[in-house]
A = this chain, B = another copy of it.
Amino acid sequence: MSNLNPVLLQSLEQVVGEAGLIRDDERMQSYLSDWRNAYRGKAALVVRPASTDEVAAVVRLCGEAGVTLVPQGGNTGLCGGSIPDDSGCQVVLSLTRMTRIRQVDPANETITVEAGVILQHLQEAAAQVGRLFPLSLGAEGSCTIGGNLATNAGGTAVLRYGNMRDLTLGLEVVLPDGRIWDGLRGLRKDNTGYDLKHLFIGSEGTLGIITAAVLKLYPAVRSRTTAWVALPSPQAAVDLIGRMRALCGDRLTGFELMSRQSVEFVLRHVAGCNDPFTEVHPWYVLIELSDTLVDASLAEMLESGLGEALEQGEALDAVVAGSEAQVAALWKMREGISEAQNHEGPSLKHDISVPVSSIPAFIEAADRKLQEAFSGVRIVAYGHVGDGNLHYNISKPPGSDDVLFKAQAEAIMHVIYGVTRDFAGSISAEHGLGQAKREAARHYKHPLELELMRTLKQALDPAGLMNPGKLL
């Protein structure tokens, strides 16, 4: 039951109505842990405002009472950024009732949506006017635009279209004092001072609450081809993406690297997946080309590039999908890795990035240092080559003890993050910091950068009311 001041509770109920308040312990549960159940907290209350004005009023009332807020969207984050702490004193502010698509402007190639709109619904709304909203990630059926913005979401289309940050033209934000900043401008050029929107994007709810956004749309894709390619090494993947990009330019919309270990887990655990090749190879990439033209000769272009790559020894074998069913089967292999790894016991996930040119040396150094210190661990490396982003995940040695392995998690993390730092990389490429990586960020980010971040936090949220304990 709620341990909030009854006067505040009554004021909040006046703002959001009974439908907007959840006080019942049982009904609160789904708001108190993330979808993987990796993080769990307590809350005084879950409040679900239905409009920007209601969000503003809730923020103002909680601020006056000194109650801290935890903004929450679809709760699909991987770092616990939307989960309250254990105190039971925080209020979870869920944006999931703010689901309006406020405007679609095909001539401006923009769409204006509220924070609670689910990514997939946005993709569908774009498709209805013959446009593409390119952000694409595993959780797209549940995650919300507000969460995508707060964490600057990435995914598989970043190679061509950029992160959520790059897809955003304008924001509406409720500030920590409850005032509403209306930055909902659908402008592609606006040089009239500091760019405020970029401060809120990726700030994980620590500077304000994003309530709506103007997002970019792109021309619909009308043709698509996919290939599955076997490679001798990560260096071959870097060479091959350079070759394909020079040849195909913006048509190259996907380039996903997978180690043999990753593919083996999929073949073992995901029903209906089959190795396209008879021989075993150390590395694979999935390449996707797409175009606005219906008849864009993509398969010919792909075959021409791969032909050269095979000649040069960059590629060992290749198959170009001949049907939509084959395309889906190849993507299923890539998308099945995370699930497949769960069947092999606990998996330690790391979402790092380095310059693309450093991927081969990063993998070599990280593999070597891990095997030296934690002999027999299985390295499940895969990711988005063009973004320099690797999901460098670790499974225990076969047959070893789960508990002993998990006890090594922090030591393994430090090996991987240490190598990441050696290559001027990032310890969180696309997942954010949340509560999971806050301490690691303190260790691996430069102190001056942390100081600048604290200066900005202090300037915009001096009372520390917005999502405390996350990110900073």
Q: Which A residues contact B (CB, under 8 angstroms)?
A: 105-110, 130, 151-152, 154, 158, 162-163, 165-166, 179, 181-183, 185-196, 198-199, 201-203, 207, 218-220, 238-239, 242, 245-250, 291-293, 301, 353-358, 384, 386-389, 424-433, 437, 441, 444-446, 448-450, 452-453, 455-460, 471-472
Tell me if B357 and A194 are in contact (CB < 8 A).
no
A219 CA to B202 CA, complexed, in Å? 29
A109 — which chain B residues lie within 8 A by C-beta?
A: 245, 356
Which residue of the partner chain, among B191, B207, B238, B247, contacts A202 with CB atoms under 8 Å? B191
A250 — which chain B residues lie within 8 A by C-beta?
A: 249-250, 292
Tell me if B426 and A190 are in contact (CB < 8 A).
yes
A353 — which chain B residues lie within 8 A by C-beta?
A: 187-190
Tell me if B182 and A446 are in contact (CB < 8 A).
yes
Tell me if B356 and A108 are in contact (CB < 8 A).
yes
> Which of chain B's residues has its CB closest to A446's CB?
B182
Tell me if B189 and A158 are in contact (CB < 8 A).
yes
Which residue of the partner chain, among B194, B357, B424, contacts A453 with CB atoms under 8 Å? B194
> Which of chain B's residues has its CB closest to A301's CB?
B293
Closest CB-CB distance, A471 to chain B, in whole Å? 6
A386 CA to B432 CA, complexed, in Å? 33
Tell me if B193 and A201 are in contact (CB < 8 A).
no
Closest CB-CB distance, A80 to chain B, in whole Å? 14
A220 CA to B217 CA, complexed, in Å? 25
If A107-B238, A357-B105 touch, whether A433 touches B193 (CB-CB below 8 Å) is yes
| Interface-centre pick from A105, A109, A152, A187 (highest chain B CB count, 10 A) | A187
Which residue of the partner chain, among B238, B386, B431, B459, contacts A456 with CB atoms under 8 Å? B459
A165 — which chain B residues lie within 8 A by C-beta?
A: 195
Which residue of the partner chain, among B162, B192, B199, B247, contacts A427 with CB atoms under 8 Å? B192
A453 CA to B191 CA, complexed, in Å? 13
A152 — which chain B residues lie within 8 A by C-beta?
A: 191, 195
> Which of chain B's residues has its CB closest to A189's CB?
B429
> Which of chain B's residues has its CB closest to A184's CB?
B424
If A201-B195, A433-B191 touch, whether A249 touches B291 (CB-CB below 8 Å) is yes
A189 CA to B161 CA, complexed, in Å? 12
Closest CB-CB distance, A206 to chain B, in whole Å? 9
A388 CA to B185 CA, complexed, in Å? 12
> Which of chain B's residues has its CB closest to A292's CB?
B249
Tell me if A181 and B452 are in contact (CB < 8 A).
yes
Which residue of the partner chain, among B191, B291, B471, contacts A193 with CB atoms under 8 Å? B471
Tell me if A426 and B292 are in contact (CB < 8 A).
no
Tell me if B193 and A249 are in contact (CB < 8 A).
no
List 13 A-B residue pairs with CB atoms under 8 Å apart, sorted by A's residue number.
A105-B355, A107-B239, A109-B245, A110-B355, A151-B191, A152-B195, A165-B195, A185-B424, A188-B356, A190-B428, A191-B428, A248-B292, A249-B291
Which residue of the partner chain, among B186, B437, B459, contacts A458 with CB atoms under 8 Å? B459
Tell me if B238 and A193 are in contact (CB < 8 A).
no
A152 CA to B353 CA, complexed, in Å? 26
Tell me if B199 and A449 are in contact (CB < 8 A).
no
Tell me if B426 and A187 are in contact (CB < 8 A).
yes
Tell me if B441 and A193 are in contact (CB < 8 A).
yes
Which residue of the partner chain, among B198, B386, B424, B426, contacts A199 with CB atoms under 8 Å? B198
> Which of chain B's residues has its CB closest to A444's CB?
B192
A162 — which chain B residues lie within 8 A by C-beta?
A: 166
Tell me if A187 and B354 are in contact (CB < 8 A).
yes
| Interface-centre pick from A238, A246, A301 (highest chain B CB count, 10 A) | A246
Taking A187-B424, A219-B245, A249-B291 as given, write out 18 further A-B residue pairs in contact, using a Cβ cutoff of 8 Å, ordered by the A residue number: A105-B357, A152-B191, A152-B195, A154-B191, A182-B446, A187-B388, A188-B386, A189-B388, A191-B430, A192-B426, A193-B202, A193-B433, A193-B449, A196-B452, A196-B453, A219-B249, A247-B293, A455-B459
Closest CB-CB distance, A391 to chain B, in whole Å? 11
The 8 closest A-B pairs by CB, nearest first: A249-B292, A198-B198, A107-B357, A459-B459, A190-B426, A189-B429, A250-B250, A108-B355
A387 — which chain B residues lie within 8 A by C-beta?
A: 188-189
> Which of chain B's residues has its CB closest to A131's CB?
B246
Closest CB-CB distance, A36 to chain B, in whole Å? 18
If A198-B199, A249-B291, A292-B246 touch, whether A186 touches B424 (CB-CB below 8 Å) is yes
